[in-house]
Amino acid sequence: MDVSSIAGAAALMQSSQSQQALSASMIKMNAESQSKIAEMIQKGAQSMPQPSQSSVSGFSTYA
């Protein structure tokens, strides 16, 4: 192999590694965002008032 072939292969490998690192970083950011959304949903669900068990004439979703 000549020098230009080796240099081209090295540049291609470096580009591939950079792309893999960028992809991994984007996956990590997406996971962190989903975790934050899940926390917000959980906090919202905990702060919602719970329905009372003693309501006799309540709203029916089976109508």
State residue 61's pLDDT score.
73
The pLDDT tens digits for 4-61 are 999 999 999 999 999 999 999 999 999 999 999 999 999 998 888 776 665 556 666 7
d(CA 31, CA 25): 10
| pTM as predicted | 0.59
Percent of the chain with pLDDT strictly greater than 90: 63
Q: How many helices (H) and strands (E) in the chain?
A: 1, 0
pLDDT at 57: 61
3-state secondary structure 29-55: HHHHHHHHHHHHHHHHHHHCCCCCCCC
- In this prediction, residue 49 carries a pLDDT of 79
Task: Indicate the average pLDDT of the chain.
Answer: 87
